[in-house]
């Protein structure tokens, strides 16, 4: 049963077709294609092509019919709006030989949107409720254009049409399209994400290769981004419980194998894990930043609810401010310099006391491109944590010899500081 | 003469083909397609399709030959590396009926890269110096895979092959591919960018529509992003001087028409304009942030050289820190609340004095999703500037009724604070 299910969804061949002149001109980056590809991969659907065409009826028709010839499922974005050049639905209806008719459910959900935002619904918005006959409408909770799923009866070929704006498309995909595809193929999928900091992607892969290669259900897929690695463990089964029973031992085995570099499971981000850990213990964190210039506090306060664990951050870019506001001793600055273990430690301690927090973390370093020397090159960064009873400081070499690496160095330094803060919470 | 030139480059029809399984799986977002599309649009080349295929020889060949049938220029990214599944060059050579041969120039530039980063060059890296016979190699200053331009003698059709990593591809495109295409079509292009804050894209377009529609050379193209609008004015001519002579009066006319909302020409970003203005006047800025949580100082310190104008930022997330570190009066906090004009002004003044800077800016508001009330809803933000002799405060309503708008509210609040800081510099 499970086997059959699994094969069925994995045998679907898909393509992604994004419609929009603004994409062709490069005015916006096509994040939709990546999002849809990842979500399809997650449920086991293989994507073989992605393409982009402008709002041009001829080329749209050509691209759609080429895609439908090659594959079983075409997911489109864009061209569902109220204006004359929004033609995706009409083109699909034409290719499938279906008439357009008004969908009452879609019409009332468009009306509901206009009521919610308090604007009158104009006549051309009603065009959006015209769907190919027999189509399955997808509700849009964040905009006016409904999505549509059309299936050709004889071939079973499908086109899923979604609006272009990511904040409309993304929830529509995860909340409606994914469940539709799973139901159609009698599958249930469950995923868990293991978050890793302090081990590179290739080393994670090397360590886990036997497990990853042997594992078909659940699958284990790594995603690397700027100093972090995530492993997504996904199982398909007939029920959620069965899927969980397949996943949990694999997640445990991976966490045991990797040890300390795993900072959490399903925690979202490093800063999310920090806020969660501090909130759980009822303690507070303060930040003192030099080379990261506020990036650490910016990342913490990105998290809704961070005000429960974070009161104060100081960005002390100049030595005078390190001394005056954070209480770093003049002697320390003169003897060891602003970029030193000693200064990092005094900054962390200073901001902890200033804020009345349980933990203080700090960053000081050389983000470049200027300011480096033979002794203290670009990329040399110290991060420290102080928790009253103890402290820890790390010396990092973050330069990768890239041009424009300033942002990368700052990002990695901030991540190391957040990781230190997370570890420091263990002492409470 | 100018006319002929202009027609020639504008008649090229182009497609973009990105190769890489990681794109198909959605592991990375395809920023390359947007970058190349924008750069081609800038020099007047029209892009009609973008597509993505995996590292699969059959599908790559199919996609390439379909593209070459439809257009004059195919720009590819990816598949130039040293491993067996990097097949772009081989596939193009096959389609054009060209043998592969070693290019000595490319080989020595690969060697030079390995020397620079201090790693030994392995045997499979030599594969990267094999190019289709007669190809024009493009140097890679940030990686090992050289780019290639191949032109078919009889048809004039061209394939430009670029490496996948953006930091290798982008400089290769602007420094080598753009000049090659311009030289081939005997064109010169010059662009200037007008930066606008405080007027929406549709209002900018409505104000400038007659001018934008009448303007063929230079062209005027708007780009909108999170609260800012940029207008790129681009002229083509036989020489740089002639292009400039076409551009300058149009730029002046736009700046005069739009007035105060133009914050600079060719200044890069709002934070770049701030650092430039403060450095030019020899004055310093300090920041006091509540709802933006360090984002303002993060954006300022993104700019290399910002340490000349920025010493100190305080992220005062809690009332106690606003009072203790910034000197906001308890009475002010109790009477008006943390989210108020009065608190914003005292924060700006307080951090200016603490830092010994000429100007202080502040933000305080409700970024959401929690914390709002009928009186002070999510999206209510005050930003203030204090320059000793005077001060300014703005009340902003930044909510757009989106889900997940916290980051958007924070970004817009930070932009308004940077804009106030820029205006405050006029007093010195």
Sign, Cα dihedral of A251, A256, A261, A263: positive
- Residues of chain A positioned with their CB less than 8 A from the CB of B35: 26
**Residue B285 contacts residue B418 (beta carbons within 8 Å):** no
Which pLDDT score is estimated for A343?
A: 98
Which of B92, B188, B110 lies closest to B148 in space, CA to CA?
B92
Q: Determine which of A308, A312, A397 to mutate to test the interface with B (most B C-beta atoms within 10 Å).
A: A312
Phi, psi dihedrals of residue A161, rounded to the nearest 5°:
-110, 125
What is the residue-averaged pLDDT of chain B? 91
Helix (H) or strand (E) holding A301: helix A295-302
Binary contact (B38, A31; C-beta < 8 A): no
Copy the structure tokens of residue A218: 């659940």
Q: Measured between CB atoms, which of B26, B54, B293 is closest to A300?
A: B293
What's the half-sphere exposure (Cβ side, CA atoms, 13 Å) at A307?
19
Structure ipTM: 0.80
Confidence of residue A1 (pLDDT cuts 50, 70, 90): very low
Binary contact (B52, A33; C-beta < 8 A): yes
Establish, for the pair of chains A and B, how many residue pairs have beta carbons separated by less than 8 Å: 237
pLDDT greater than 80 at residue B116: no
User: What is the pLDDT averaged over residues A157-177?
Assistant: 94
Helices and strands, counts by H and E, chain B:
16, 17
Confidence of residue B6 (pLDDT cuts 50, 70, 90): very low
State how far residue B147 is from chain A, nearest Cα, in angstroms. 18
pLDDT greater than 70 at residue B2: no
Which of B91, B80, B75 lies closest to B43 in space, CA to CA?
B75
pLDDT greater than 70 at residue B1: no
Q: What is the DSSP letter of A278?
A: H
- Residues of chain A positioned with their CB less than 8 A from the CB of B58: none
- Other C-beta atoms within 10 Å of A178: how many? 17
Burial of A421 (0-12, 13-18, 19+ CB in 10 A): buried
Binary contact (A26, B33; C-beta < 8 A): yes
Which pLDDT score is estimated for A115?
A: 81
Which of B110, B55, B51 lies closest to B78 in space, CA to CA?
B55
Q: Measured between CB atoms, which of B142, B298, B314 is closest to A314?
A: B314
Helix (H) or strand (E) holding B249: helix B240-258
- Other C-beta atoms within 10 Å of A11: how many? 12
Binary contact (B30, A27; C-beta < 8 A): no
Which pLDDT score is estimated for B3?
A: 36
Copy the structure tokens of residue B26: 């959605």
Burial of A291 (0-12, 13-18, 19+ CB in 10 A): buried
- Residues of chain A positioned with their CB less than 8 A from the CB of B402: 142, 167
Which pLDDT score is estimated for B403?
A: 67
Beta carbons within 8 Å of A237's beta carbon, 6+ residues apart = A2, A5, A187, A188, A190, A217, A243, A245, A246
**CB-based burial, A321-357: b 16+ in 10 Å, e otherwise:** bbbbbbebeeebbeeeebbbebbbbbbbbbbbebbeb
Confidence of residue A2 (pLDDT cuts 50, 70, 90): very low
Q: What is the DSSP letter of B237?
A: E
Strand partners, A362: A288, A384
Confidence of residue B410 (pLDDT cuts 50, 70, 90): very high
Beta carbons within 8 Å of B134's beta carbon, 6+ residues apart = B98, B150
Question: Residue B285 and residue B428: Cα distance in Å, rounded?
Answer: 12
Copy the structure tokens of residue A336: 């060891």
Binary contact (B49, A50; C-beta < 8 A): no
Distance of CA B213 to the CA centre of its chain: 25
Which pLDDT score is estimated for A5?
A: 37
- Residues of chain B positioned with their CB less than 8 A from the CB of A297: 293-294, 315, 317
Beta carbons within 8 Å of A379's beta carbon, 6+ residues apart = A365, A366, A368, A372, A396, A397, A398, A399, A400, A405, A409
Binary contact (B29, A29; C-beta < 8 A): yes
**CB-based burial, A302-315: b 16+ in 10 Å, e otherwise:** bbeebbebbbbbbb
State how far residue A221 is from chain B, nearest Cα, in angstroms. 10
Which pLDDT score is estimated for A403?
A: 67
- Residues of chain B positioned with their CB less than 8 A from the CB of A324: 354
The per-residue pLDDT for range A188-239, each reduced to its tens digit, is: 888 899 999 999 888 888 899 888 878 778 888 887 778 899 998 988 888 8
Binary contact (B314, A307; C-beta < 8 A): no
Strand partners, B77: B18, B162
Q: Measured between CB atoms, which of A26, A41, A354 is closest to B26?
A: A41
DSSP three-state, residue A107: helix
Least confident interval from A52-56, A104-108, B414-418: A104-108
- Residues of chain B positioned with their CB less than 8 A from the CB of A410: 301-302
Strand partners, B158: B73, B151
Q: What is the DSSP letter of B30?
A: B
Which pLDDT score is estimated for B269?
A: 93
Parallel, antiparallel, or unpaired: how do β-strands B158-162 and B73-77 relate? parallel
Binary contact (B41, A47; C-beta < 8 A): no
pLDDT greater than 80 at residue B20: yes
CB pairs under 8 A, 24+ apart, for A6-9? A6/A44, A6/A187, A6/A217, A6/A236, A8/A185, A8/A186, A8/A187, A9/A43, A9/A44, A9/A45, A9/A181, A9/A182, A9/A185, A9/A187, A9/A236
**Residue A325 contacts residue B350 (beta carbons within 8 Å):** no
State how far residue A289 is from chain B, nearest Cα, in angstroms. 9
- Look at B70 and B5; give whichever has higher pLDDT: B70
DSSP three-state, residue B88: helix
The per-residue pLDDT for range A29-54, each reduced to its tens digit, is: 999 999 999 999 888 888 999 999 98
pLDDT greater than 70 at residue B208: yes
Which of B263, B253, B264 lies closest to B207 in space, CA to CA?
B253
- Other C-beta atoms within 10 Å of A235: how many? 25
Please count the residues of chain B: 428
Binary contact (A314, B313; C-beta < 8 A): yes
Sign, Cα dihedral of A417, B22, B174, B141: positive
Dump the DSSP string for B365-425: E--SSSS--SSS-TTEEEEEEE-SS-EEEEEEE---S-TT-HHHHHHHHHHHHHHHHHHHG
User: What is the pLDDT averaged over residues B251-265?
Assistant: 95
**CB-based burial, B175-212: b 16+ in 10 Å, e otherwise:** ebbbeebbeebebbbbbbbbbbbbbebeebeeebeeeb
- Look at A54 and B32; give whichever has higher pLDDT: B32
Q: Determine which of A171, A178, A313 to mutate to test the interface with B (most B C-beta atoms within 10 Å).
A: A313
The per-residue pLDDT for range B130-166, each reduced to its tens digit, is: 899 999 999 988 888 889 999 998 888 999 999 998 9
User: What is the pLDDT averaged over residues A396-401?
Assistant: 86
**Residue B255 contacts residue B246 (beta carbons within 8 Å):** no
Question: Residue A65 and residue B91: Cα distance in Å, rounded?
Answer: 26
Q: Measured between CB atoms, which of B28, B36, B306 is closest to A26?
A: B36
Q: Measured between CB atoms, which of A54, A310, A403 is closest to B142?
A: A403
The per-residue pLDDT for range B81-94, each reduced to its tens digit, is: 777 778 899 999 99
Least confident interval from A109-113, A168-172, A375-379: A109-113
- Look at A116 and B139; give whichever has higher pLDDT: B139
Beta carbons within 8 Å of A225's beta carbon, 6+ residues apart = none
Least confident interval from A213-222, A303-312, A325-334, B67-76: A213-222
Q: Show the beta-strand stretches assigned E in B155-215.
A: 158-162, 188-197
Copy the structure tokens of residue B238: 């036989």
pLDDT greater than 90 at residue A66: yes
The per-residue pLDDT for range B47-63, each reduced to its tens digit, is: 999 999 988 889 999 99
Which pLDDT score is estimated for B118?
A: 73
pLDDT greater than 60 at residue B4: no
State how far residue B134 is from chain A, nearest Cα, in angstroms. 31
Confidence of residue B217 (pLDDT cuts 50, 70, 90): confident
- Residues of chain B positioned with their CB less than 8 A from the CB of A290: none
User: What is the pLDDT averaged over residues B119-124?
Assistant: 77
Q: Measured between CB atoms, which of B117, B312, B320 is closest to A311?
A: B320
Confidence of residue B95 (pLDDT cuts 50, 70, 90): very high
Helix crossing, A240-258 with A201-214: angle to 10°? 130
Question: Residue A285 and residue A214: Cα distance in Å, rounded?
Answer: 42
Q: What is the DSSP letter of A173?
A: I
Confidence of residue B7 (pLDDT cuts 50, 70, 90): very low
- The rounded percent of chain B whose pLDDT value lies above 90 is 65
- Residues of chain B positioned with their CB less than 8 A from the CB of A301: 292-294, 315, 317, 410
What is the residue-averaged pLDDT of chain A? 91
Strand partners, A221: A232
Which pLDDT score is estimated for B350?
A: 98
Copy the structure tokens of residue B317: 């997330």
Q: Determine which of B15, B17, B28, B34 to mutate to test the interface with A (most A C-beta atoms within 10 Å).
A: B34
Which of B264, B275, B305, B295 lies closest to B417 in space, CA to CA?
B295
**Residue A191 contacts residue A234 (beta carbons within 8 Å):** yes
Which pLDDT score is estimated for A6?
A: 39
Which pLDDT score is estimated for B216?
A: 79
């Amino acid at each position: 049963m499970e086997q059959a299910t699994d094969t069925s969804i994995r045998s679907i061949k898909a393509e992604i077709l994004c419609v929009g002149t603004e994409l062709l001109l490069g005015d916006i980056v096509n994040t939709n294609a990546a999002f849809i590809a990842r979500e399809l991969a997650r449920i086991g659907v293989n994507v073989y092509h992605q393409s982009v065409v402008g709002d041009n009826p001829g080329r749209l028709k050509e691209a759609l019919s080429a895609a439908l010839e090659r594959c079983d499922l075409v997911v489109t974005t864009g061209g569902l709006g109220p204006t004359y050049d929004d033609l995706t639905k009409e083109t699909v209806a034409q290719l499938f030989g279906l008439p357009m008719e008004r969908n009452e459910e879609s019409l009332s959900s468009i009306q509901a949107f206009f009521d919610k935002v308090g604007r009158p619904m104009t006549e051309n918005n009603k065009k959006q409720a015209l769907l190919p006959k027999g189509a399955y409408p997808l509700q849009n909770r964040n905009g006016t254009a409904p999505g549509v799923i059309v299936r050709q009866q004889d071939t079973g070929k499908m086109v899923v049409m979604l609006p272009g704006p990511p904040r409309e498309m993304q929830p529509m995909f995860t909340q409606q399209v994914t469940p539709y595809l799973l139901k159609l193929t009698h599958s249930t999928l469950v995923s868990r994400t293991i978050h890793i900091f302090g081990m590179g992607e290739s080393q994670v892969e090397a360590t886990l290769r036997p497990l990853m290669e042997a594992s078909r259900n659940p699958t284990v897929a790594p995603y690397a981004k700027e100093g972090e690695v995530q492993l997504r463990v996904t199982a398909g089964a007939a029920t959620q419980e069965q899927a969980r029973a397949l996943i949990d031992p694999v997640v445990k085995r991976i966490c045991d194998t990797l040890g300390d570099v795993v900072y959490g499971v399903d925690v979202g981000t490093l800063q999310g894990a920090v806020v969660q850990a501090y909130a759980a213990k009822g303690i507070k964190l303060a930040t003192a930043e030099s080379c990261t210039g506020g990036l650490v506090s910016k990342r913490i306060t990105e998290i809704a609810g961070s005000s429960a664990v974070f009161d104060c951050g100081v960005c002390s870019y100049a030595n005078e401010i390190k001394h005056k506001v954070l209480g770093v001793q003049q002697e320390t600055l003169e003897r060891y310099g602003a970029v030193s273990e000693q200064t990092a430690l005094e900054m962390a301690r200073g901001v902890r006391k200033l804020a009345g927090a349980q933990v203080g973390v700090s960053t000081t370093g050389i983000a470049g491109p200027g300011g480096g020397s033979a002794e203290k090159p670009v990329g040399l960064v110290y991060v420290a944590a102080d928790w009253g009873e103890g402290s820890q400081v790390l010396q990092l070499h973050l330069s990768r010899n890239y041009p424009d690496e300033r942002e990368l160095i700052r990002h990695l330094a901030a991540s190391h500081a957040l990781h230190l803060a997370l570890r420091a919470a263990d002492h409470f």
